Chain A
Amino acid sequence: MNHVELAIIGAGPAGLSAAIEAASVGVQTIVFDENQQAGGQLFKQIHKFFGSRAHQAGARGIDIGKNLLGQVAASGAEIKLDTVVWGIFEGNKVGVVTNGRNVICKADRILLATGASENVLAFPGWTLPGVMGAGAIQTMVNVHRVLPGKRVLMIGSGNVGLIVSYQLLQAGAEVVALVEAMDRIGGYAVHASKIKRAGTPILIRHTIKEAVGNGKVEQATIVQLNDNGNVIEGTERTLDVDVICMACGLSPLAELAWLAGCRFTDVAPLGGLLPVHDDNMQTSLPGMYVAGDIAGIEEASTAIEEGRLAGIAIAESLGYLTTTDATVKKQAVNDRSEQLRDGPFGITRREAKETLIRRSLET
């Protein structure tokens, strides 16, 4: 493991897809992941995905994950789980702890596919047991089949908040209310409609004021906001809940890119400060690539396409694909990505991605 052609950090949808594209044409590829299972967040996604047939639309995230793992196995890429990447050093060297050994691995190409971390909201009582991130709830409910509580307050109406609410209902919990500070539901209306018709109140222009309880969450006070986002005094309502779920968005998990010295830029619609990348997913550092949420917060389907793009570009740069072959493959990926970044929800992300790529050309 002292030397590898391609080291991929993160075995989520982006990392696995890159591994498939690169290894299947001969690139010697290792994927590192600190978790005990590959697939990133895909195995928590028990709902059916959108997209077209080319994006496996209609399949559940968990099945898309299984499919990717099958393709990785066939591609010849190696996945090293329970493996922590703790640093990146000059000369494309990666510090890796695996099987209790701490080793330096030199990689001809590095792909950072480290994903995102959840944003939290600070309110009085937010550190009480029972206040949880949506990701943790998905892990408990969908992976380990443990219900964290019976009565839930959901914060945030993006697709994550809507989908996790639905999954909590499926698991037998009651979602007492879903609050959203904006003046509209953030995620897809079809997701909102599913929980609405199952009886979940969706309250826009509402937020949480505080959580109280003796050693754990027992009550939450919610409050209405005016059009400027300020609290309307006297609108407080106290709900009996034992779980408060925060679904307040994601931020790119980019420490390794900062550490390596990648150039960053601020693209708010994609989650804020991001490492710039070109149309091959290569950062400002030659040989270092990004894909998935670290390159802008989007969805699993777009992460898969970005991973493929990076894998193809890396294989090309190492001479495993001719420019002609790579161009054809990249075009197919870009066409699929363009379909996903379309419509009222996607167009902002498409424009933001274009900005990010344009900025990679600036010096």
Chain B
Amino acid sequence: MTLIKDGYFSQTELAQLPGMPSRERLHEGPCVVIECAQQIPCDPCEAACHEGAIEIGDSIINLPKLDPSKCGGCGLCIAACPGQCLFVVDMTYSDTEGTVQFPYEFLPYPQKGDTVHGLNRGGDIVCDAEVLKVLHPKKFDHTAVITVSVPKEYAMEVRTIKIKGNHHG
């Protein structure tokens, strides 16, 4: 199992998660991707979603289950997750590009319009990403939620960014 040996998911592991929308759903519009694989006692994502798209159920060790039909991709769940494992992906951004929204807790924040490195789950630079939005309202409690656009083929790869010239994400 890649996750517990390397610290990130293999594609097979990802596909089995109950928080994973289908490929088809991702091409219909923005949707959350919940990369939560271990039954740890945790449930803030469920309450963060006003649409009822995320269900944990009675036991807080249940994995979050996604109802992709209810998710509008608002991203309110992203900063609520203490594990920083929720992302919103939109494959409909343009013909060639998709967007990724992800949690970010490093300073300085990038600025809207910046071109930054897009990093995959393993920390490798895979493409350039353009910063579209940087949100850090008080409610997010110091976890910024950043939206970037990337080539479509990398929208399910890129999970954080690195500001060009900085040594870490």
Is there any pair of Cβ atoms, one from A and one from B, under 8 angstroms apart in the complex?
A: yes
Q: Which residues of A contact B (CB under 8 A)?
A: 47-53, 55, 57-60, 63, 169-170, 174, 183-185, 188-200, 202, 204, 339-340, 342-346
Convert B98-109 into 0s and 1s, putting 1 for each residue whose CB lies closer than 8 angstroms to a CB of A. Answer: 000000011100
**Nearest CB in chain B: distance from A206 CB, A:** 12
Chain B hits for A48, CB < 8 A: 82, 141, 143
Q: Which of B25-33, B67-75, B117-125, B128-136 makes up part of the contact surface?
A: B117-125
Please judge, given known A-B contacts A169-B106, A196-B7, whether A189 and B38 are in contact too, CB under 8 Å.
Answer: yes
Interface size class of B (residues with CB under 8 A): 35 or more
Task: Decide if B82 touches A189 in the complex (CB within 8 Å).
Answer: no
Chain A hits for B9, CB < 8 A: 193
Chain B hits for A200, CB < 8 A: 123
**Nearest CB in chain B: distance from A240 CB, A:** 14
Q: Which of B41-49, B88-96, B146-154 makes up part of the contact surface?
A: B41-49
A198 to B47, CA, bound (A): 28
Task: Decide if A50 touches B82 in the complex (CB within 8 Å).
Answer: yes
A183 to B41, CA, bound (A): 24
**Which of A59, A169, A196 has most chain B Cβ within 10 Å?**
A196
Chain B hits for A183, CB < 8 A: 5
Please judge, given known A-B contacts A50-B40, A51-B41, A197-B122, whether A57 and B82 are in contact too, CB under 8 Å.
Answer: yes
Convert B147-169 into 0s and 1s, putting 1 for each residue whose CB lies closer than 8 angstroms to a CB of A. Answer: 00000000000011010000111
The yes or no answer to B61 lying at the interface (CB within 8 A) is yes
Task: Decide if B167 touches A174 in the complex (CB within 8 Å).
Answer: yes
A185 to B167, CA, bound (A): 24
8 contacts between A and B (CB under 8 A): A47-B82, A50-B42, A52-B60, A189-B3, A193-B8, A202-B6, A342-B59, A342-B60
Chain B hits for A344, CB < 8 A: 38-39
Task: Decide if B3 touches A197 in the complex (CB within 8 Å).
Answer: no
Shortest Cβ distance from B9 into A: residue: A193
A277 to B40, CA, bound (A): 26
Chain A hits for B43, CB < 8 A: 51-53, 57
**Nearest CB in chain A: distance from B60 CB, A:** 5
A55 to B82, CA, bound (A): 13
Question: B168's contact among A52, A174, A184, A192, by CB below 8 Å, is which?
Answer: A174
A121 to B114, CA, bound (A): 44
A49 to B42, CA, bound (A): 9
The yes or no answer to B127 lying at the interface (CB within 8 A) is no
Task: Decide if A339 touches B35 in the complex (CB within 8 Å).
Answer: no
A191 to B4, CA, bound (A): 11
Task: Decide if A199 touches B168 in the complex (CB within 8 Å).
Answer: yes
A53 to B167, CA, bound (A): 36
Task: Decide if A189 touches B7 in the complex (CB within 8 Å).
Answer: yes
Interface of B is mostly: loop
Chain B hits for A339, CB < 8 A: 41, 59-61
Please judge, given known A-B contacts A51-B60, A188-B40, A189-B38, whether A204 and B5 are in contact too, CB under 8 Å.
Answer: yes
Chain A hits for B159, CB < 8 A: 197
A170 to B84, CA, bound (A): 14
Please judge, given known A-B contacts A50-B82, A190-B84, A197-B169, whether A343 and B5 are in contact too, CB under 8 Å.
Answer: no
Shortest Cβ distance from A50 into B: residue: B42
Task: Decide if B38 touches A345 in the complex (CB within 8 Å).
Answer: yes
Task: Decide if B83 touches A191 in the complex (CB within 8 Å).
Answer: yes
Task: Decide if B123 touches A190 in the complex (CB within 8 Å).
Answer: no
A342 to B56, CA, bound (A): 14
Shortest Cβ distance from B13 into A: residue: A189
Task: Decide if B105 touches A190 in the complex (CB within 8 Å).
Answer: no
Task: Decide if A184 touches B8 in the complex (CB within 8 Å).
Answer: no
The yes or no answer to B20 lying at the interface (CB within 8 A) is no
A47 to B143, CA, bound (A): 10
Question: A342's contact among B7, B61, B105, by CB below 8 Å, is which?
Answer: B61
Question: B42's contact among A57, A174, A184, A198, by CB below 8 Å, is which?
Answer: A57
Chain B hits for A50, CB < 8 A: 40-42, 82-83
Shortest Cβ distance from B167 into A: residue: A174
User: 9 closest Cβ contacts across the A-B interface?
Assistant: A190-B83, A192-B7, A343-B61, A343-B39, A48-B82, A196-B7, A198-B169, A199-B123, A58-B44
Chain B hits for A49, CB < 8 A: 82
The yes or no answer to B37 lying at the interface (CB within 8 A) is yes
Please judge, given known A-B contacts A57-B82, A189-B7, A198-B123, whether A52 and B167 are in contact too, CB under 8 Å.
Answer: no
The yes or no answer to B85 lying at the interface (CB within 8 A) is yes
Chain A hits for B162, CB < 8 A: 199
Chain B hits for A346, CB < 8 A: 41, 61
Chain B hits for A345, CB < 8 A: 38-40
Task: Decide if B82 touches A184 in the complex (CB within 8 Å).
Answer: no
A203 to B42, CA, bound (A): 27
